[in-house]
Chain A
Amino acid sequence: MSSREIYLDYAATAPLDSQVAAAMHECMTREFGNPSSLHAAGRRARALVDAARASVAARVGAASDRIVFTSGATESNNLALQGVLRRSRNRRVHLVTSRIEHKSVLDVARALESSGVEVTYVAATAGGSVDPERVVEAIGADTQLVSIMHVNNETGVIQDVRAIGDACRARGVLFHVDAAQSVGKLPLELAAAPIDLCSLTAHKVCGPKGIGALYVAPRVTLAPQMHGGEQERGLRAGTLATHQVVGMGKAYDLADPASEAPRFAALRDRLWDELRAIEGARSNGDRERSAAHVLNVTFPGVDGESLRFALQDVCVSAGSACAADSPEASHVLTGMGLSDVLAGSSLRFSVGRFTTEAEVVTAAARVAAAVTRLRTLARSAPPWCSA
């Protein structure tokens, strides 16, 4: 990173914590054994995996044996949705999800639709929430699974997974939660929550990329999506990447929302205090119901791609990094009622462990300058460019 560069895209990914890197380095250079091997080297590797599994489980309030390591939240979402809905063939199956889920849920849902699964996509409110009542209305006799994310990756809005989960339990429907954005920002107590499946990832909390996990509650059965070994209780074949697992464990040891979330919230609020001075700027999503690290702001009259290009030394996103190459407007923001133009005029800022107050103040000043310049370039533009 150059000295001018300011990283405000923690919702996309976070820098590796040096303590995580040290733990991974120790593993890579000293413990190369296959954790499935029965000899001494394998047993040492297995012990590292077990310890990491315990760390992940402790952070999310689950028993260790409920944690299945995967390559990340995308694989976890695939395993959860396909693992449940492809179990039973030759019968009608129904999935309920929302229109503002991450692509790694929506694209799986569409793939399932193409193979005969019925899917209901519940709309979001203007504030970015998924109303539990709308989810309940969508549940039918054939519904096997409801999948709703905990914290929206574009707006930070926290969904009422307790109410949705209770409704699912009462109807005998499994409930999956994508918690990729909530670990380290909100306390999770999965064993006590009405949640059957929960997707987790390491790289959003200063851990390594390429490693995640799926929490699988007792009595939930899944059809494995990868074959070729009995690792992870037969749910995820393949030799475990011990160093990645160790990195995730260390990252989850460090990602304590009690100590970090108040600081994230203060940084986010300071950023908004600065950005709100820009004429017309408005935040998206109910900030009273949002996780501490995300702020989504619309700057009417400015094209989002041009704004991001003008802000190259301020690292922010239009929305999901996983859709950054798509020219389409954010499905989350349009799902909340924004026009395509305004959705395209929006930026997601997200803070994290290494963000400083000076950085958010400097970033806001650069955003203000860029917005002013781009608006000057389009000063006679028709009203639709701002509406």
Chain B
Amino acid sequence: MEYSLAVRRHFAAPQKARELPAGSPGLVAGEAEDRTLHVWVRFQLQIVDETIAAAGFQAFGCPHTLAAASAVADWAEGRPVAEVRKLDVKAVCAELEVPVEKLGLLLRIEDAVAACCRTGT
């Protein structure tokens, strides 16, 4: 399996692999999993004034999953909720040069973020 430089960078140092402080105002969380694909993703978003003030994630899965979750968390922070709600993980896959056969795994990231946004509305 080949991994792009972007995947290597996110995997080595996922800046937003963190738990946001409990009780933070506007904190929402969402999870998604696929047991058959061995992937679980949990996102936390702190929504302040319809904007993502902070993002954090946890993930169990392959390097592409961890890297993509990290990239999405980096991307989400500072963006309006309305934009994050429209997250297209295929664009993230392209940026990270994720093999097409891994797309099914990464769709769980989209699901987890969508679950966050639902909670936040």
Contacts and interface: CB of A to CB of B under 8 A. Distances in A.
B1 A305 contact: yes
Contacts of A301: 60
B1 A303 contact: no
* Contact residues of B: prevailing secondary structure: mixed
Given A309-B3, A377-B14, A377-B58, A382 B63 contact: no
Nearest to B33: A382
A381 B101 contact: no
A378 interface: yes
A301 B59 CA distance: 11
Interface stretch (B34-42, B89-97, B109-117): B34-42
Interface string B48-72: 0000000000111111011000000
Interface residues of B, number: 20
Contacts of B40: 378, 381-382, 385
Contacts, number: 51
Contacts of B35: 341, 384
B38 A380 contact: no
Interface of B: 1, 3, 11, 14, 17, 19, 33, 35, 38, 40, 42, 58-63, 65-66, 101
Given A306-B63, A309-B11, A309-B63, 20 more contacts: A303-B38, A303-B60, A303-B62, A306-B11, A309-B3, A309-B62, A310-B11, A325-B1, A327-B101, A341-B35, A376-B17, A377-B58, A377-B66, A378-B60, A379-B19, A380-B19, A380-B42, A381-B40, A381-B58, A385-B60
16 contacts: A301-B60, A303-B60, A303-B62, A305-B63, A306-B63, A309-B11, A309-B63, A325-B1, A341-B38, A344-B38, A376-B17, A377-B66, A378-B58, A379-B19, A380-B58, A384-B35
